[in-house]
Structure 1
Amino acid sequence: MVYKGVLERLHRYGELVMFSHTLFSLPFAMIAMFLAAEGLPNAKTLLWILVALFAGRNGANALNRYVDARFDALNPRTADRHIPSGSVKPREALLLTVIAYVIFVFAAAKLNPICLYLSPVALLLFTLYSYTKRFTWLCHQILGITCAGAPVGAWLAVTGHFALTPLILAAVVTLWISGFDILYGTQDIDFDRAQGLYSIPARFGLKGALSIARISHFIMWLLLLLLTFQSPLLSMPTRFGVLCSGILLIVEHLSVDPAHRQKMNFASYHLNQIISVILFISVTLDIFIL
């Protein structure tokens, strides 16, 4: 019975931090790692990159749920989330954040000095994002920049220095995630305005938000295409993956319907998880097989 209770609690924590959404940033970090190492890095580097990625992402998500609990409880769309519903206590989410942050810094220290020195910057971004809707409608872009640290961090873990390739990947991730976060945020236009929260949909309305999201994803797609020519390790398989991602982005924007929660989850989350996996597979084929 104790074992079952522990598993249930872990499952609940996994839902709290949306563990399945790791598929957004992880594939891009892996792509950066493969390109930096021109294949696989050594086992130690691979291990601590993965530890840092999972710890950083899940710590940031736990904090976001903790910080937003009051607004989640007021919003009918989010009132059933774990903290408002009482299935996870606020102090548990905060403790998860602290543990994850400590593990993140420890993993950075195990990689190399530059990763350790930059770890406070990453933690600052993880923490800052949760408060951005209180003071800027650029919260979506700040989320994108925060997630863009994954490919940059993975590159630095392998090489120890900056380069053009991870910066292009960072721009791709920033534009991609901010774009679909704007789409997802169109569900809360009235709520955000009523609560005095900032977001692009609340500031520019549905039409303006959709236009900004489309522009973000179009530029993101162009940068992806540029990357396939900029990196000598990438060729036709990756370009085919980029083509497929473009088609799925079009489907995503055609599927947006803020009045239907399931359609929004499909457009904002499920399709983008497929996009990241397709890009990961195409790059993997390019580097390791073809």
Structure 2
Amino acid sequence: MSYVLDRISAFGRMIKFSHTVFALPFALAAVVLAHRESPVTLNLIFWILVAMAGARSAAMGFNRIADAGFDAQNPRTADRAIPAGGISITASWIFVIAFSALFVLAGAMISPLCFLLSAPVLLILFSYSYAKRFTAFSHLYLGFAISLAPVGAWIAVTGGFDWRILHLSLGLLTYIAGFDILYACQDWEFDKKMGLFSIPSRFGIKTAFRISAVLHVLTFVFFVLIFIVFDMGIFYMGTLVIIGGLLILEHRLVSPRDMTHIQIAFFHVNSAISILLFLGILSDELIKGI
């Protein structure tokens, strides 16, 4: 039993399952908004959660396989499961295939359209792992890949597309890309040495911080536009004020001269932003339903 728990823990660390908190609240927020158009059942919520877990686990597992050689040479990542020998490449591939199948199954259980879209979505998620080999704007591609979550959740509930949900997806895209740029500043020298592309290694850390700040301003703009296009209420407005403060705090915690608080900015502040956005939308919808 302890061996099984150890393996589960190892795979959880490999894919950083705790980081699901960044994108999942956005997908759930899309479900709440889509409930205005179509009823949401517990069965549907279950399969959306399964799809999210499957897609993220498969994508992160694939990323760890693709980056294993680089991770082994980077002092910051050398202790990750694959380069450290905690998980084999074979076991990692089995993990990726299993969770990819789970994602496809979830799509099939939701609707024929979601089933048809599952394979292209996986292709987009997997291809991110190679983006850093070709373009410094891989952070934006990561944001784009993850921003499919709210659109997918909306389609899962309503069976179709609505342009309004793009505001939530674009908010997620710029939010993810912005803090991924900050996080990549830790590896700018290593990336340059290995011929990998990132905004910090291509343009320097100071410029990277400015680009990140611009992206997070756009994030806030898209969050405000959600207020307008979905006719949100006072609870969402209140969370917007807090989120704006947290985005400013994130950029105060780290600077080109001091990145000692990068983990706090990356995980704690960004987790709070995602959860607050979801709670603001959920609270408004619950109040309207009373």
TM-score (norm 1): 0.96
Structure 1 equivalent of residue 106 of structure 2: 107
Matched, 1:46 2:41: no
Matched, 1:164 2:154: no
Q: Say if 1:33 and 1:40, in contact at 8 Å, map to a contact too.
A: no
Q: Say if 2:132 and 2:197, in contact at 8 Å, map to a contact too.
A: yes
Matched, 1:73 2:72: yes
Structure 1 equivalent of residue 152 of structure 2: 153
Q: Say if 2:61 and 2:96, in contact at 8 Å, map to a contact too.
A: yes
Please list, as runs of the form range in 1=range in 2, the aligned pairs for 1:56-95 lying within 5 A after superposition: 56-95=55-94
**Structure 2 CA distance, aligned partners of 1:258 and 1:90?**
36
Please list, as runs of the form range in 1=range in 2, the aligned pairs for 1:122-271 lying within 5 A after superposition: 122-232=121-231, 234-257=232-255, 263-271=261-269
Q: Say if 2:26 and 2:274, in contact at 8 Å, map to a contact too.
A: yes
Deviation at 1:150, TM superposition (A): 0.7
Structure 1 equivalent of residue 286 of structure 2: 288
Label 1:147 to 1:186 Cα distance change in 2 as closer, same or farther (>3 A): same
Q: Say if 1:257 and 1:263, in contact at 8 Å, map to a contact too.
A: no
Structure 2 equivalent of residue 21 of structure 1: 19
Question: CA offsets, 1:206-252, max 9 Å, x none?
Answer: 111111100000011011011111103x2111111111111101110
Deviation at 1:269, TM superposition (A): 2.1
Q: Say if 1:229 and 1:235, in contact at 8 Å, map to a contact too.
A: no
Structure 2 equivalent of residue 275 of structure 1: 273
Question: CA offsets, 1:48-92, max 9 Å, x none?
Answer: 111000100111011111111111111111111111111111221
Question: CA offsets, 1:3-49, max 9 Å, x none?
Answer: 11101110111111100000011000000001001396112211111
Deviation at 1:261, TM superposition (A): 6.3
1:36 pairs, out of 34, 37, 49, with: 34
TM-score (norm 2): 0.96
Unaligned runs of 5+ in 2: none
Identity percentage of aligned residues: 40
Question: CA offsets, 1:134-167, max 9 Å, x none?
Answer: 1111110110011011100000000011112221
Q: Match of 2:40, SS?
A: coil
Deviation at 1:257, TM superposition (A): 4.4
**Structure 1 CA distance, aligned partners of 2:191 and 2:54?**
30
Backbone CA RMSD of aligned residues: 1.4
Which sits farther off after the overlay, 215-224 or 84-93?
84-93
- Give the length in aligned residue pairs: 287
Q: Match of 1:84, SS?
A: coil
**Structure 2 CA distance, aligned partners of 1:64 and 1:207?**
27
Deviation at 1:264, TM superposition (A): 0.9
**Structure 2 CA distance, aligned partners of 1:260 and 1:59?**
34
**After TM superposition, what 4+ stretches of structure 1 lie above 3 angstroms from structure 2?**
257-262
Q: 1:256 is matched by which residue type in structure 2? A: V
